[in-house]
Structure 1
């Protein structure tokens, strides 16, 4: 997902792993479908539709972590005002800042039509929090916030992860160099490994911790949210969904700087699909579970178009998939289709360049 940030203009990948533990597997198929629908609604910033999705199936059809997820959603959003602070942070300024943002997230998720007014109210509240003059804009305010958090031993990322304003806070950060091969190029990239989080952002809050950001790309490096990968930095998920996806963003931000947020996601998802091996089925299922025609939700908007483009490319090769997630198509054919669609998209954009 395209992320607009104060200084760098970043891209964020909103990765939402499917529940895979034994407890979740005992939920009924209808409950699991409802969870998929709720995830899609949450990524579009709509708590009402999120609750409608999980509420469409009786509570006794949810088990284990799925039941916990359903209960958390209703406890968090079926109320008249923002709930208690979700998460623990002892440092006073960080706690107050996180409270401000969670109040804003709750309001914006509960009333999507009021987002612009809520964004303006958030900016005013942040000015008051740090004693900034009324003329200071988002860039200046967020730079001040990052500096204040740094003084207190925290790293932070703000900006906008469409459709909401963002706040991620973490304590630990280390650097590592990776070489990444994309379908049409190779990059050596610096990756910042982030850990010990206080806040993993609005998508984590909106989904009661069921999914979160996995990482994002900046002008000169990639950031990886280590907890999303369970610390397994040699996994297929890390290689494809972080290094591949975000390095494609890294490349596209340089080659095609005018791309819309959903177009950045569209292209990165082809690279991710091409690189995925053991996680390919999970990845395609995730695309199929979260689709929309809402361009303000770049991931879900791109998911629908990625699957359509893959299906068309497979059909052109004589491969006919019946399932929505293309899981009945040969894996190698899907990966080859992703490779070819991305290269064709690049040629089209280069040919159209002035």
Structure 2
């Protein structure tokens, strides 16, 4: 599999920033907690959950709160989140990543120390020294080879802000032609299934959501179990396929787009095509925003909403579906024309873009 280029995935679950006065309901607290976890900030996530009184929590919301508090409030770290792997060598590698995620999320300021600990554990497990693998980037090909030898596919690299490990058994390749606003885009998609690890974003939120997929120079990769309705559902066709196909097309068409610019354009495509998933995606764009370009999804969300609000003269969630779709298409077209005028076309694709 092509190596990742350390770009953020679009995550399927909803998220929201902390409100000025703190969240007032369990759902608002969960949204705020998720937003904090997307930025690798466990203490802020726990603070959001603690801001809502105990008496308001029940059912699945309470179970989620208890899981997150138990996982990241515990010292020493809790048992690995996945015990479904019989192979000891593979289980040890996953355990090393889970301990690293736990440490990095609990103490964001100590993230570099947590990465050093991960590297030390992997060297020991793979029986390589510092000369052979001086950095995590150097050891990850060996990790991937080891996992493949034991029958597992893996996605490594970085999903900012943390190192990634996704593990799955099964995949098949299928061709698609995606009807993007700028024209049809043919792509090959690897449909992935039978997962043992959905990566750090799932671990960080007690399996409430996960990375939905990613793009390489040659194909797309879809985490199929996450999409209701399979490949025929709108979740897959819009949230994954159209989003990722736009990344694929943009990397062939333009040079050096920043991560947030890739996400900005792909999110406009989602809104230009979404119908049944429109409300959920808009909620995510509206409630998970930020000013830091190093958190490209949150920053792109803010830019998308601001630009559509200006174009529509109203907040995007208040207009009919057709009006929103038309505005998103017009905004994308305007962005494309601006970039074509200012940026030379790329001669070949590069990099890996995760959803």
Q: Structure 1 residues 223 and 68 mapped into 2: Cα distance closer, same or farther (>3 Å)?
A: same
Q: Which residue of 1 aligns with 2:186?
A: 188
Q: Which residue of 1 aligns with 2:332?
A: 342
Q: Structure 1 residues 8 and 205 mapped into 2: Cα distance closer, same or farther (>3 Å)?
A: closer
**1-structure distance, mates of 2:102, 2:334:** 41
Q: Structure 1 residues 45 and 8 mapped into 2: Cα distance closer, same or farther (>3 Å)?
A: closer
Match of 1:292 among 281, 290, 293: 290
**Structure 1 residue 16 displacement after superposition:** 2.8
Q: Structure 1 residues 297 and 82 mapped into 2: Cα distance closer, same or farther (>3 Å)?
A: farther
Match of 1:353 among 343, 351, 354: 343
Q: Which residue of 2 aligns with 1:116?
A: 112
Match of 1:107 among 98, 103, 106: 103
Q: Which residue of 1 aligns with 2:322?
A: 332
**Structure 1 residue 142 displacement after superposition:** 1.3
**Structure 1 residue 123 displacement after superposition:** 2.5
Higher mean Cα deviation, 268-277 or 254-263? 254-263
Output one character per residue of 1:266-294: Cα deviation in whole Å (capped at 9) or x when no partner. 11111111111111011101112212223
Greater than 6 Å deviation, 4+ residue runs: none
Please, which runs of 5 or more residues in structure 1 have no aligned partner?
20-27
Q: Structure 1 residues 44 and 188 mapped into 2: Cα distance closer, same or farther (>3 Å)?
A: same
Q: Which residue of 1 aligns with 2:32?
A: 37
**2-structure distance, mates of 1:144, 1:211:** 28
Structure 1 contact 16–210 (Cα < 8 Å) conserved: no
Match of 1:266 among 252, 264, 267: 264
Q: Which residue of 2 aligns with 1:24?
A: none
**Structure 1 residue 126 displacement after superposition:** 1.9
**1-structure distance, mates of 2:36, 2:6:** 23
Q: Structure 1 residues 18 and 115 mapped into 2: Cα distance closer, same or farther (>3 Å)?
A: closer
Output one character per residue of 1:183-221: Cα deviation in whole Å (capped at 9) or x when no partner. 113111111111110100000011111111111111111
Q: Which residue of 2 aligns with 1:9?
A: 5
TM-score (norm 1): 0.89
Q: How many residues align?
A: 334
SS in 2 for 1:71: helix
Q: Structure 1 residues 62 and 314 mapped into 2: Cα distance closer, same or farther (>3 Å)?
A: same
Higher mean Cα deviation, 192-201 or 77-86? 77-86
**2-structure distance, mates of 1:172, 1:12:** 23
Counting only pairs closer than 5 Å after superposition, residues 285-324 of structure 1 correspond to structure 2 as 285-315=283-313, 320-321=314-315
SS in 1 for 2:9: strand
**2-structure distance, mates of 1:217, 1:159:** 13
TM-score (norm 2): 0.88
Match of 1:133 among 124, 129, 132: 129
**Structure 1 residue 256 displacement after superposition:** 2.6
